Amino acid sequence: ATVCKRRLIIMDEVDGMGGNEDRGGVQELIRLIKASAVPIICICNDRQHTKIRSLANHCFDLRLRRPQKGTIARRAMDVARREGLALDGNAADLLVESVGNDIRQVLNCLQMWRRNSSTVSYMDMKSRIWQVEKDSILRMTAFDGVRSILDPKDQTLFQRQDSFFLDYSLVPLLVQQNYVDSIQSCHEMGDKSTRMSAASEALSDCDLIDSMLRRDQNWSLLPFQAVMTVRVGTHTRGGLGFPKFPEWLGKNSTGNKRRRLLGDLAMHLSSAVSGGQEAVRLNYAPVLRRRLVSPLLQKGAEGVQETIAMLDEYGMSREDLFETLPELQLPGYGEDLDKIDSKTKSAFTRKYNQGVHRSQAIAGAAQAGTGKKRKVSTAPEDLVDGDEAGEEEPEEDNDVSQFVAKKKGKGAAKSKKAGGEAKPRTKKKKA
């Protein structure tokens, strides 16, 4: 009888697929999962990685959590008892906590100590734990670091400074976001407003140092920034739950997006208005929004042509009206577009797509201006002997191989053209 063996494919470290070596690896793995009848287990460490998000849609998402300290300690005591080692409960808890809940490290320590003794008490464990314990800073994240800074109980100054260096870009933002909550939860006597003022002043000094550090690339200032960040915790001294994520990151991303949209809108309007981006944002954008939306609100589908004509007059596109202008409005002032009927929007889109608009020419010119090379058009009647029509004028960053290839092609074309234009000479016979 034929014995069929069941097969299983295990893909470990799939969150590391990427770069030049594994480019397109996640897409290929997804294709194999769809086509294969063999079960595939994918293992990753970083579940929130952008590559894993697409892969997780084609897998059963089974998340494993690190075992708790008590669970590992009880299991370690059971293993030690079976191996003839009497392990105290408090000693087991201390061992598990010192190695960061690492089960393999716990078993290695028990095996090492069993060779020399048959009992391990709490005092024995405390005296020898320094030989096997892991550096606690290596197990901490930026969120653990901010709690160490804002609630500095049983933490030395150097330990809090090490917490800053876990992520010196993110930790100051986390401190700025959570220091008020830490002060509010502190039960010590004293004026909270005074302590909040002192903490804010320390944060201001930290921000000034950060600006100098990044502007001048003077990284020797980083320890001083660490001291100013730790100084905030000396004024808070309050408990903190899980820290809030810095809102500044989201606000900064939104601000960069709106500045980019404002720059595009100012470029579209540059041929029709006078003024830079500030004038467009403060003076032109609110008026244009009202002027463009009014025909659609008052006349419905009959006002579509009027709005399109106004867009063409100012060199604006449909995206400028329905996407850019709402982004540039303050909350509560840009809801006019939401009042436009869906039928009117559909009629506007159909009518707009039927024609050719000035904004398309402006966008094409801007795109052509960003190219590496530009064409210098020459009329045939302006050609002089030896000149060529449509010759490319190279700018900086020329590719030499492309330039030589094009020159060769042009020389061949020129000789061919000269050969085609040459007329055969005929000798006249003398009478």
**pLDDT greater than 50 at residue 391:** no
Do residues 260 and 358 both lie within one domain?
A: yes
**pLDDT greater than 50 at residue 393:** no
**Which is it for the CA torsion 384, 389, 393, 399, positive or negative?**
negative
**pLDDT greater than 50 at residue 405:** no
For residues 148-168, give the mean pLDDT.
86
Of 17-26, 33-42, 56-65, give the lowest mean pLDDT range.
17-26
Whether pTM exceeds 0.85: no
Do residues 182 and 227 both lie within one domain?
A: yes
How confident is the model at residue 124, as a pLDDT? 85
Distance CA 315, CA 313 (A): 6
Do residues 269 and 307 both lie within one domain?
A: yes
| Per-residue b or e along 166-204, where b marks 16 or more CB atoms closer than 10 Å to that residue's CB | bbbebbbbbbbbbbebbbeebeeeeeeeebbeebeebbe
How confident is the model at residue 1, as a pLDDT? 53
For residues 319-336, give the mean pLDDT.
80
Please report whether residue 423 resides in a domain.
no
The pLDDT-based confidence of 256 (bands split at 50, 70, 90) is: very high
The pLDDT-based confidence of 76 (bands split at 50, 70, 90) is: very high
Of 26-35, 167-176, 355-364, give the lowest mean pLDDT range.
355-364
**pLDDT greater than 70 at residue 68:** yes
**pLDDT greater than 80 at residue 402:** no
Please report whether residue 382 resides in a domain.
no
Please report whether residue 280 resides in a domain.
yes
Distance CA 223, CA 164 (A): 9
Q: Count Cβ atoms within 10 A of the Cβ of residue 278 and give its class: 0-12 exposed, 13-18 middle, 19 or more buried.
A: exposed
Domain range for residue 358? 252-363
- Find the length of the chain: 431
pLDDT tens figures, 374-386: 444 444 344 334 4
**Which is it for the CA torsion 406, 408, 409, 413, positive or negative?**
positive
Do residues 310 and 295 both lie within one domain?
A: yes
Distance CA 390, CA 328 (A): 43
Give the residue from 245, 271, 301 where a domain finishes: 245
Do residues 91 and 175 both lie within one domain?
A: no
Please report whether residue 319 resides in a domain.
yes
Which comes out higher in pLDDT, residue 410 or 128?
128
Do residues 46 and 148 both lie within one domain?
A: no
Residue 181, sorted as left (phi over 0), alpha (psi -120 to 50) or beta, turns out to be alpha
Count of structural domains, the chain: 4
Please report whether residue 427 resides in a domain.
no
Do residues 359 and 293 both lie within one domain?
A: yes
Give the residue from 344, 363, 382 where a domain finishes: 363
Please report whether residue 176 resides in a domain.
yes
Q: Count Cβ atoms within 10 A of the Cβ of residue 32 and give its class: 0-12 exposed, 13-18 middle, 19 or more buried.
A: middle
Highest-confidence segment of 2-11, 58-67, 408-417 = 58-67
Alpha-carbon torsion, ordered 403, 404, 410, 411, to 10 deg? 150
Q: What is the CATH number of the domain that holds 182?
A: 1.20.272.10
Do residues 231 and 147 both lie within one domain?
A: yes
Please report whether residue 404 resides in a domain.
no
Distance CA 119, CA 94 (A): 15
How far is the CA of 271 from the CAs of 249, 359, 362, in angstroms? 35, 11, 9
Highest-confidence segment of 56-65, 108-117, 217-226, 237-246 = 217-226
Percent of the chain topping pLDDT 90: 23
Do residues 225 and 297 both lie within one domain?
A: no
Do residues 274 and 221 both lie within one domain?
A: no
